[in-house]
Structure 1
């Protein structure tokens, strides 16, 4: 008759008997086949795979092509930029109001100029300047593809567009159908420069309308000076 197991050696209910551990020879132990070595090899393989994948991601990020930026960001786009060429025309930009924003993908600076309202001609001019620095995506593909939309009082579709030579990058000057609004936009690498000039009021539909050719020429000169002032 089999006696009861002694205290300290009792079997747990439902517990299967442990399998006998296969003896390991010295040669096998030297090769790493000893007890507990299998999970170490598996862990080492997982760590190696993770390291390789991390290296691939770093390499992909390193070779990602970002837009070229050859100009700096400024918080006050109005400071020191009085639109000297436009000031010699009927537009005469007045005091500028700046604003700006910074983001990992895009930095932007804005300045809005307002001219004095003249009772003589009853024409009111507004000048708006925007500089965008695209740091992640290239704006070249979208340049000139959207509608002719602006900020505030500027809005509209249609009009005519003409290419402007002599400026860095690609430049386009667009005029709203019927006149009263011009937009000059230049894309140079990841930087986009936009200058809007608009005039309106009762006198805008009379013979007192400004010299549009002079305004266009002044816009080109002011954008050229703006780009040079921000060049790094």
Structure 2
């Protein structure tokens, strides 16, 4: 970068040369125009230095502002229930999950969307409920606190000894089983996005009502994979 002493020194030299040319006896018009013309390039050079400095300072400010912002590869959705039909879970549960509550919100720090699903209770059968939450953290990295909270269900207590890692899903994914084996929770972290799917089941009256927990968990993973693909931008 050109320093100020060089600019100031050359500027004074150019000005003095013009005055000397004007005062010389017999100095021609062509010579005077040549000396005057030295001002133009220095003015442009000085303006370029100032402009470049301003642009560089602005670039650094923007980079510093967003340096710690987590990566978000997913769009915010206002129709989460429609984007996540839970088809695989419906097949395992031998029914169709119907959505009955959809929520969403936006803020400078986080966008979120949620949906609740259910299969109507029938006597002598197993009924299911599900809750899906998508959070897009725009300012703070959710990684350090990933999957440390109680989740979205007030009725389930997750068993730390039953936690399993799920490979090939986001940056990190964990599957938790609850005490009593009446619910599962799948949580996925991918950059600044956190996806949480909770499934609960309730046995009706009657004997022989069993739940294939392994099949439920496999369906949760596949439905989550489909949702993430549909929201990826």
Distance 1:166 1:56, change over 3 A: closer
1:155 aligns with 2:159: no
In proportion to residue count, which structure has more helix? Answer: 2
TM-score (norm: length of structure 1): 0.68
The DSSP-based 3-state class of the residue aligned with 1:220 is: helix
2:122 is matched with 118
2:9 is matched with none
Q: Distance in 2 between matches of 1:56 and 1:87?
A: 50
1:69 is matched with 72
Aligned 1:194-209 pairs, distance under 5 A: 194-203=196-205, 207-209=208-210
Q: What is the aligned residue count?
A: 176
Q: Distance in 2 between matches of 1:55 and 1:71?
A: 28
Question: Displacement, 1:82?
Answer: 1.2
2:105 is matched with 101
2:92 is matched with 89
Question: Displacement, 1:155?
Answer: 3.1
From the CA coordinates, give the structure whose radius of gyration is larger: 1
The DSSP-based 3-state class of the residue aligned with 1:150 is: coil
2:180 is matched with 178
Question: Displacement, 1:216?
Answer: 0.5
TM-score (norm: length of structure 2): 0.68
Q: Distance in 2 between matches of 1:63 and 1:111?
A: 30
Question: Displacement, 1:79?
Answer: 1.4
Question: Displacement, 1:145?
Answer: 2.5
Distance 1:66 1:209, change over 3 A: same
1:231 aligns with 2:198: no
> Which segments of 5 or more consecutive residues in structure 2 lack a partner in the other structure?
1-53
Q: Distance in 2 between matches of 1:82 and 1:154?
A: 23
1:139 aligns with 2:142: yes
Q: Distance in 1 between matches of 2:63 and 2:216?
A: 47
Q: Give the RMSD, CA atoms, in angstroms.
A: 2.5
> Which segments of 5 or more consecutive residues in structure 1 lack a partner in the other structure?
1-50
1:169 aligns with 2:171: yes
